[in-house]
Each structure stands twice: as structure tokens, then as C-alpha cells.
Amino acid sequence: MSIKDIITVPDETLKKKSDSIEKVGLNEKKLIKDLFETMYHYNGIGLAAVQVGVLKRILVIDVSSKDEKKEPLTFINPIIKKVSNKTSIHEEGCLSIPDTFIEIERPKICEVEYIDINGNMKNLKCDGLLSTCLQHEINHLDGKLIIDHLSKLKRDLIIKKISKSKKNPDRIIV
């Protein structure tokens, strides 16, 4: 297992659509372990394979709180089958967009069909944080980021700010 580097905006890879998985083989299982290790290391609650530069439709999620037992969930080739009309708003961040939080309105409940780590087809009805997180991660598989919910002007400002801070490796936040 290893902790992978997470790619950040404006890396063009993040805009690409990920490919479906034909079979859950050893490579995929190793990738899933790395995704979990990377996600936990960076204190994320979800991570898509594209965020470590692998264009496969795989994502991992764990929305359990810190003092609870871990609840790792793996979604392979996830498809949203149904969404509720009722929406909810969360302030969302993203490991690929440092220091940026955006309020996003999404369907409150979603039903997803996916393949689990053992290669079995599953269905899951998700609500609350899990539903929001899953929709955010599935967006990643289609090359869509939280900043795409903003106007071009706001989006460009955020990307400019992040690109600038990358050029100043000595910068500290206190």
C-alpha cells in the first residue's frame, strides 16, 4: 500500500471522463487500497481514482466520524438510478482544490447501482452526507468539479489563486 500524490487544479486530467472497469482484478484491488490509504492520510471523506491520476471509474468513501469505527465503501462503475426532488445544501471542499469551500445544492437522496470490491452488483439508497459525497465523487468520474458549479469568472479567480500559492512553496499559514 502507498499514499499517492493527489492532483490538483488546473491539472487537465481532472476534466477527463474515467473509463468503466471490466473486471475487478489485482490491479484494481491494489488501487482501491491505495485510494483508502491516501484518503485517510489527507483526512478526506471521499476520493476518486482520477484524483491520483488513474482514469478508472472507481471511488472510495468513508463518512464515519473520527471517533467511530471506520466504514470504508468502494464503488466501481457507479450509476445513479434515481434522485429525490428534495434537495439539500452542503458546503463542499475537494482534495483537488485546496482551501476552497463552495455551497452546493444537490438531490438529498440518491439510489446508486455499482459493483463492490468483490465484483458483486449492488444497489444502495443514500441520504445525508453519504448522498452528497457520492454525487461529488461521481462528478469526478465525469470530469466535473465543484468549481464548475460557479460562474467562469469566480472559477478562474480560484484557479489563479491556487496556481499562485503553488509557486510559493515557502509560504506558510499560521
Task: Tell me which of 71, 92, 113, 137 is the catalytic residue.
Answer: 137
Pattern 46-85, Ni ion, x by CB under 5 A: ----------------------------------------
Q: Which of 94, 133, 138, 147 binds Ni ion (CB under 5 A)?
A: 94
Residue 103 appears among annotated catalytic residues: no
Q: State in angstroms the smallest separation of the CB of 138 from Ni ion.
A: 11
Q: State in angstroms the smallest separation of the CB of 96 from Ni ion.
A: 5
Residue nearest to Ni ion (CB): 94
Please say which residue, 94 or 138, places its beta carbon nearer to Ni ion.
94
Using CB atoms within 10 Å of the CB of residue 112, give its burial: 0 to 12 exposed, 13 to 18 middle, 19+ buried.
buried
Half-sphere exposure of 113 (CA within 13 A, CB side): 4
Cis omega (within 30 of 0) for bond into 10: yes
CA angle 23, 28, 34 (to 5 degrees): 165
**Rounded Cα distance, 14 and 30, in Å:** 21
- Where on the chain is the footprint of Ni ion (CB under 5 A)? 94
Catalytic positions are 137
